[in-house]
């Protein structure tokens, strides 16, 4: 009997165990949604705070991961006050009517040393498919293999016109580049 118990324990311990999808909490103060676009020949940079996030990651089986994030349009800042005011007005994001921008993932897949995150992006009440490239890092001070605190860098772009946010098209470029840093920790820790 002792031999059988040892054999079962050996088989169990030798078999790779896949972690179940794990909920994470966003560290909002250490996360940022950055964006940039061209106003004439000048690049303008800005940021929007994250209003909320539901994050479930399965780092062993990415396809089981899910993310839903919303950002606060009313608190957006763009380079200088005139740009911020114009961006939040009716001709572009219309923050008063559409106070949040949301992204909900529809799929995750590995790509080289990172991942591709597909999903639906909603801006001004218009929902369109969006794709982001993602890179995952352990946060400073964590041990190799420790997945309790992570940082994710996401990059992508969108067309303002595709979402009806095409005000001042004669001065402002259509493409908006997104650069997002999300820092998170396992929920409940």
Specify if 147 maps to a domain.
yes
User: Of 103, 52, 100, which Cα lies nearest the Cα of 76?
Assistant: 100
145: left (phi over 0), alpha (psi -120 to 50) or beta: left
Structural domain count, the chain: 1
Please provide the size of the chain in residues: 189
Residues 6 or more apart in contact with residue 13 via CB below 8 angstroms: none
Specify if 9 maps to a domain.
no
Host H or E run for residue 82:
helix 81-88
The whole-number pLDDT of residue 21 equals 95
Specify if 110 maps to a domain.
yes
Specify if 4 maps to a domain.
no
User: Of 35, 99, 96, which Cα lies nearest the Cα of 70?
Assistant: 99
What is the CB neighbour count within 10 angstroms for residue 180?
Answer: 22
Specify if 3 maps to a domain.
no
Specify if 102 maps to a domain.
yes
Specify if 13 maps to a domain.
no
User: Of 161, 134, 179, which Cα lies nearest the Cα of 43?
Assistant: 179
The whole-number pLDDT of residue 4 equals 38
Range of 103's domain?
A: 19-186
- The per-residue pLDDT string of the chain (189 residues; one tens digit each, 9 = 90 and over) reads 444 333 333 333 333 444 689 999 999 999 999 999 999 999 999 999 999 999 999 999 999 999 999 999 999 999 899 999 999 999 999 999 999 999 999 999 999 999 999 999 999 999 999 999 999 999 999 999 999 999 999 999 999 999 999 999 999 999 999 999 999 999 997
Tell me how far apart the alpha carbons of residues 34 and 115 are, in angstroms, rounded to a whole number.
19
| CATH, residue 25 | 2.40.128.110
The whole-number pLDDT of residue 19 equals 63
Specify if 96 maps to a domain.
yes
């Amino acid at each position: 009997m002792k031999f059988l118990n040892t054999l079962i324990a050996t088989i169990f311990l030798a078999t790779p165990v896949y972690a179940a999808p794990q909920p994470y909490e966003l560290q909002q103060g250490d996360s940022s949604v950055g964006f940039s676009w061209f106003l004439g020949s000048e690049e303008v940079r800005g940021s929007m705070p994250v209003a909320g996030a539901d994050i479930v990651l399965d780092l062993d089986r990415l396809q089981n991961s899910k993310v839903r994030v919303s950002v606060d349009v009313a608190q957006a800042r763009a380079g200088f006050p005139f740009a911020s005011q114009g961006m939040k007005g009716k001709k572009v994001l219309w923050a008063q009517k559409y106070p949040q921008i949301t992204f909900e993932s529809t799929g995750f897949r590995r790509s080289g040393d990172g991942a591709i995150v597909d999903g639906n992006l909603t801006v001004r009440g218009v929902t369109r498919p969006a794709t982001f490239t993602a890179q995952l890092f352990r946060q400073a001070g964590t041990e190799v293999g420790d997945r309790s605190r992570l940082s994710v860098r996401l990059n992508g772009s969108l067309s303002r016109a595709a979402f009806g946010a095409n005000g001042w098209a004669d001065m402002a470029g259509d493409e908006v580049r997104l650069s997002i840093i999300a820092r998170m920790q396992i929920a409940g820790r």
